[in-house]
Structure formats: C-alpha cells, structure tokens
Structure 1
Amino acid sequence: MVRRGAHADAEPLLRAACDDGHMEAPYWLAKALRGLGRTEEAEPWLRRAVEAHPEVVRGYGGMTRLALPDPRRELAEVLTELGRAEAGAAGGCAPWPPPGRPGAAPPGPRWAGRGLRFLIPAGPAGGCAP
C-alpha cells in the first residue's frame, strides 16, 4: 500500500502490525507517515526500525537481503529534514580497506549505470567506503 502511495489507508494497518510486534512494520509506518507529510512523527518509528533491522536482515537470505531497505538512510534523511542530523545516523563510516583485506582495491565503477550502484559502492571517499 505504501509503495503505491496509499499512505492514509496503510497507516492504521501498519500501526496494528507494529502493536503486534511485526519487525518490518515500523519502517513502513514511517514511510507512510512521511508520505502524509508527518515527518516528525516518523522519526521514532524509524529509530525502532533501525533497532530491528539486524534481526529483519537475518530473516532473509541471498539476493533478497541486498534488496532490503536500510532504515538508517531514511532516518538520516528525516533527521536532516528536521534539522537534527546526528553523527552515525546513516551507519557512520565504513573503514577502507575492509578489515582482514589490507590490500583490497576499492570496488570500481564497473557497476555504475547498471542499476546495481546500491549493491556495490563506487570506492573510498575520504578514507571511507561510501
């Protein structure tokens, strides 16, 4: 419902799902609230989604895991909109090279333009993997 823009219709159902403990519901409720222009109300739900995200990810495997939305990015956007940007809200800075791979070359732009940019970062920026 949220994906097709039925934010108002989705809100009560998603609130009920959150009350029932569905792990993915806080993220989608926050998306619905943002779609209704209630950004400030979405913030606590995104915080819950960020807390639940590691458990949600464990419930998926393979390529499906890669397609899951990361609520940290959405939380960072909300905090920026509200003028309350917090360090590390978007997950912070990943070290480069990755631990255990001291000579690793950064992933190149070979995937850019193929719709996979979100899967493989373009490389280090200021010592961090994007």
Structure 2
Amino acid sequence: MKQLFQIAFVFLVALALFSCSDKEENTDEVQYYVKYVARVTSYTGPWSPYLNSVTVKTERGEDTFATKGVENWVKTIGPVNRGFKAEIEAYGGPYLYVEIHVCVGENGAFECKKSGGNYYDGGLYSSKRAYASFVID
C-alpha cells in the first residue's frame, strides 16, 4: 500500500512539472489596426487627377492594388502587433497624397500618424510617387 502511494505521488509530481510550460500565451497583447489612404486632388488644367497604383505593407507581406480611374483609395488591415512597420507607396498625379492612420483595438478611433505627398512638376505624362511609413511602438 505504501508503494502505491509513492507511485501515485511520483506520478502527480511528474504530471505537475510537465504540464506547465515556460511559454504562456499573452492574450492581453494589444492589437492595432492600420488604415491606408491614397488620394489625388483636383487640378485646374488640361489633365485630370489619376491614381495608377498603391502598394501597402500588410500583416502577410506586401500587396499592390491597381487603382486606375480612382481618385480616393482606402484599405484597412489588421490586427497587427506593436513593432509593425506600416508603409504605403502610391503613383499618380498631379497632386498625390498618402496617409497612415492607426487605431488601438478593434473598436478604437483611427488617428492619422503619418502623411506624405508629392506635387506635379508639370512634366508631360509624368507619374508622381508619394510614400509614407510609420512604426507602431
């Protein structure tokens, strides 16, 4: 009988030691959402505003979107973790702007964290580039 208690005790101790893990999942980690915006503005002249393409960094890598015929483009991605580097690059003209907005949590309000623009220099058929990046810290 004493040997049965010893075996049961050793089994329970082994079970307690091996069932605990040093790595615990952090379910309290804050999640962020990123909203990318690209837009072109009206131009008083012979050329209409145009947006050719937009490339953004997502939680899965880089995505490029063909945006011909569009003047305003918006894409929200997430969730992403702290340390994520949000990047947007857009081509178009004549007045091109990009913005990166970030919100904390799924129902938070978006706040503009970074913006950038590039202006048309008057060159015939030239496509301008606008770029912005922001690291969530």
Superposed pair shares fold, TM > 0.5: no
TM-score by length of 1: 0.20
- Select the structure that is richer in helix: 1
- Select the structure that is richer in strand: 2
TM-score by length of 2: 0.20
Q: Which of 1 and 2 has higher RCO (CA within 8 Å, sep 6+)? A: 2
User: Which protein is bigger by CA-based radius of gyration?
Assistant: 2
